[in-house]
Structure 1
């Protein structure tokens, strides 16, 4: 069966402290990563924590990109969830690897929205 979406969960290690701690840089990198992947950006919300760290989300027509950073550890957790055929979540991850100067990235892809046939039949009946 075909999945509705692809969800890449990525762990970024050995990143630049200043890059992960700059809310404007993180937001710009996330938006540009979405565009690099071929997504259509809708909205963004980012927050700078004290004394350090950034969390944020980029809502795209095809789903979302989210990030949480721990600059003091050189670490960022990134989710890239895309739906449809047009957007490649791996392109976004590759772009962010460069932006944050990550020394190592561990990532895996989870297929999302694999709908069992019994639910597809019920949906057609509605």
Structure 2
């Protein structure tokens, strides 16, 4: 279960509104970005949510990867999004691909402010200990 889990909380996104409200368009970009990064999409679910009094509804885009998963949630009324990329690193190191995927999606949303986290999950051997570490710098 050794792997890398990256998260990003994106605020004041300057992207086109399409990326915050169009589940089909966002899903297509997520699928393509994952494949371009060298990861292997094997399933997907893209869900739109209804508008509220605060504005248009957001979306959730989930791409199941052979290596684990990508999930994006948007809040158009806040011009915000959260990103979650998790890759298993058993058998191969998929960490560079996870960072490339995360960097691509952050660029898509064009946040004015972001909070990035990276967590090394699991251990390769019983003697290894999981550790938190600083996020990848572009």
Task: State if a TM-score over 0.5 links the two structures.
Answer: yes
Q: TM-score, normalised by structure 2?
A: 0.75
Which has the higher mean CA deviation after the structures are superposed, 99-108 or 33-42? 99-108
2:35 equivalent in structure 1:
35
CA contact (8 A) 1:29 1:99 kept: no
Q: CA deviation at 1:12?
A: 1.4
Cα deviation, 1:25-62, whole Å, max 9, x if unaligned, reads: 21012112212321011011010001110012100000
- Within a 5 Å distance, the mapping from 1:78-117 to structure 2 comes to 78-84=83-89, 85-87=93-95, 88-114=97-123, 117=126
Give the count of matched residue pairs: 116
RMSD, aligned CA: 1.9
Query: Residues of 2 paired with 1:100 and 1:86: CA distance?
Result: 23
1:61 equivalent in structure 2:
66
Query: Unpaired runs of 5+ in structure 1?
Result: 119-126
Query: Unpaired runs of 5+ in structure 2?
Result: 52-56, 128-138
Identify, as 1 or 2, the structure richer in helix.
Answer: 1
2:80 equivalent in structure 1:
75
